[in-house]
Amino acid sequence: MILGVDPGLTRCGVGVIEAGANRRLSFIHVDVVRSDPHMSQDLRLLAIYNGLAAKIEEFAPDTVSIERVFAQENRNTVLGTAQAAGMAMLAAAQRNIPVALHTPTESKMAITGNGKAGKIQMERMVARLLNLNTLPTPADAADALAIAICHALRPAGALEGGEREQHLTPAQRQWAQAAQRANHGRGVKRGM
């Protein structure tokens, strides 16, 4: 079971899926953990932590998959989002549950094969992959499901020969190749 988190200080999306044999995905739960914007920052973070800890206790996931914070123009939004992501990591670490971080681009690539897919395209694919009759709402919850799906569909490692590549979908193949190029670029910069 994978618990996906779309971190946010006001609304923190939580999506839970099961990834079965042959990467068959099943919808389990979706919700939003909220904090009151009129409260002090410390109490808001405590509310997010308590809500996430309760979800982790309720569903006992094998992995917590969190959307990696990326640069935005609004510094306060980035800080609050990063702090909420930290609360999710803390809640998972306290329970010895592995944490995975995925960027929005990785999520889009894994689900649609297009790292620049729009929000509606992502929501439709999430609904399709989880056999939902309606699009998941609100957007924070849909993003949390997407992060969980991204983790479920990620390649088990770098591509290792033609046999492994044959078992990947086109979107997974593109995602793995992009990750491989990115890792190679990081190794070159470090002088490896």
Structure confidence at residue 78 (pLDDT): 80
Same domain, 50 and 144: yes
How many DSSP H helices and E strands does the chain contain?
A: 7, 5
Same domain, 144 and 105: yes
Same domain, 42 and 74: yes
Which of 73-87, 105-119, 145-159, 178-192 has the largest mean confidence?
Answer: 105-119
Confidence band (pLDDT; 50, 70, 90) for 183?
A: low
State yes or no: pLDDT of 71 exceeds 80.
no
Confidence band (pLDDT; 50, 70, 90) for 80?
A: confident
**pTM beyond cutoff 0.85:** no
Same domain, 86 and 168: no
State yes or no: pLDDT of 105 exceeds 70.
yes
Structure confidence at residue 7 (pLDDT): 94
C-alpha torsion sign, points 116, 74, 15, 21: positive
Same domain, 87 and 135: yes
Confidence band (pLDDT; 50, 70, 90) for 191?
A: very low
- Please, what is the end-to-end C-alpha distance for the chain in angstroms? 36
Confidence band (pLDDT; 50, 70, 90) for 72?
A: low
Same domain, 169 and 95: no
Same domain, 137 and 161: no
- CA-to-CA distance for 161 and 109, rounded, in angstroms? 21
State yes or no: pLDDT of 159 exceeds 60.
no
- CA-to-CA distance for 69 and 67, rounded, in angstroms? 6
Same domain, 111 and 94: yes
Same domain, 90 and 136: yes
Identify the bridge partners of residue 2 per DSSP, sorted by sequence position. 17, 63
Same domain, 75 and 45: yes
State yes or no: pLDDT of 168 exceeds 60.
no
Strands 63-67 and 25-34: unpaired
Annotated binding site: 6, 67, 140
Same domain, 163 and 150: no
Query: What's 50's domain CATH number?
Result: 3.30.420.10
Question: What range does the domain containing 131 cover?
Answer: 2-154
Does residue 126 contact residue 145 with C-beta atoms inside 8 Å? Answer: yes
Tokens encoding 49? 């932590």
* Cα–Cα distances in angstroms (integers) from residue 61 to residues 4, 46, 73, 146, in the given order: 10, 21, 33, 16
The residue with tokens 């190749």 is: 177
Q: Compute how many other C-beta atoms are within 10 angstroms of the C-beta atom of residue 92.
A: 23
Confidence band (pLDDT; 50, 70, 90) for 161?
A: very low
Annotated binding site for Mg(2+): 6, 67, 140
For 23-49, b/e burial (b = at least 16 CB within 10 A) is eebebbbbebbbbeeeeeeeebbebbb
Question: Of all residues in the chain, what percent carry a pLDDT higher than 90?
Answer: 52
Structure confidence at residue 158 (pLDDT): 33
Q: Find, among 45, 56, 170, 72, the residue nearest to 113 by Cα.
A: 170
What residues act catalytically? Answer: 6, 67, 140
Structure confidence at residue 79 (pLDDT): 84
Same domain, 165 and 115: no
In the chain, the number of structural domains is: 2
- What would the pLDDT profile of 10-47 be if each residue is shown by its tens digit? 999 999 999 987 778 999 999 999 999 999 999 999 99
